Amino acid sequence: MALAFFAAAVFAYTYESRYRGLLPIVTYPLRVYAVPLVLTGLVLLVLALTARGFSLAAKDKLRVRGIDRFWVFTLAFLSAGFVMKIVGEAVHELLGHGALALLFGGRVTDFYISLIWPYEFSYVRLSIPDATSSQMMWVIGGGILVSAVVSYSVQAFLLWKKLRWEFSVPLFWLSFWCYVNATGYLIVGGVYPFGDVEELIHLGVLTSSLALVIGAALFLVGFFIISGILRRTLATFLKKKTRWWILAFWFIIPALVGLTKAGRGIFHILLVPFSLIPILLSYLSEFCMKRQK
């Protein structure tokens, strides 16, 4: 994955766009992506090498400097979660909004990827001369659309292919953060319109009810797939009580909703009970599975 980011950085730096008028003009519209792509690749490379070392020690049932193999896995798991959260934000802003803007002849004038999302939101600033309303619809909705496509594509791949944990964990987190980004935007935006969803509603593409229904449907599908992938990953290190770790994992959702409310000043009575639904679903599904066994 790190090599893919390095290759993308090289392409972004060298790609030329030529305009012919009275004088030929050569621009490099993708160079704005080069540095973040390189940095992301470096972080992923370091993480992969570290995880590889941990995996070899775990495979031989050794201890790494006195730390139990499960806690070594936990450290790598949480580190990958933070790194892939940043990558997920870049997917939304740059591959979603930014890439579609470039496709329609625009350019990226500025962008910011927040390390503390969702308390502070990332953004991308675009310039699209003479953009039509349909083009703006795709650009505005591109972040949600691309995040959903990336998430469910990675989920399908992880269901189809069983990978070693040092490869599956970063992909798992990428699918999760893109999943949260897409479904969270639609569900929270359906309850309290803001950001991309609010703009799409103003364009007449969405309604609050439609955003909520689409978000809920995507959420339910992804919830069971992500829980299954997490269960299979944890089973390598935990022979018992995986259901409690899966339940604890879904506490991320109310934490994210709370950060969004605090950072954006969004206050709605329905957001709190909605954020607890994944925990309830996780408890019921894990409990039912136990009873069936």
Q: What is the full per-residue pLDDT of the chain (293 aa) written as tens digits?
A: 556 655 655 655 565 554 444 444 445 555 555 655 555 665 556 555 555 554 554 444 444 443 466 777 888 888 889 889 989 999 999 999 999 999 998 888 888 888 888 888 888 999 888 889 899 999 999 999 999 999 999 999 999 988 888 888 999 999 999 999 999 999 988 888 888 999 999 999 999 999 999 999 999 999 999 999 998 888 877 766 788 888 889 999 988 888 887 777 777 777 888 889 998 998 888 776 555 55
Residue 269: inside a domain, yes or no? yes
Residues 6 or more apart whose Cβ sits within 8 Å of residue 69: 54, 57, 58, 61, 62, 63, 237
Count Cβ atoms within 10 A of the Cβ of residue 182 and give its class: 0-12 exposed, 13-18 middle, 19 or more buried.
Answer: buried
DSSP alpha helices (H): ranges in 161-193?
165-191
Residue 204: inside a domain, yes or no? yes
Residue 24: inside a domain, yes or no? no
pLDDT for res 5: 55
Residue 141: inside a domain, yes or no? yes
Residues 6 or more apart whose Cβ sits within 8 Å of residue 249: 230, 282
Query: What SS3 state is found at 234?
Result: helix
pLDDT for res 236: 76
Number of independent structural domains in the chain? 1
Residue 28: inside a domain, yes or no? no
pTM: 0.77
Range of the domain at 247: 63-292
pLDDT for res 21: 46
Residue 43: inside a domain, yes or no? no
Nearest-angstrom CA–CA distance, 9 and 84: 17
Residue 245: inside a domain, yes or no? yes
Question: Which residue, among 167, 169, 195, 168, has the nearest Cα to 181 in the 3D structure?
Answer: 195
Question: Which residue, among 140, 273, 161, 129, has the nearest Cα to 203 in the 3D structure?
Answer: 140
Based on C-alpha coordinates, what's the Rg of the chain? Answer: 21
Residue 48: inside a domain, yes or no? no
DSSP 62: -
pLDDT for res 4: 60
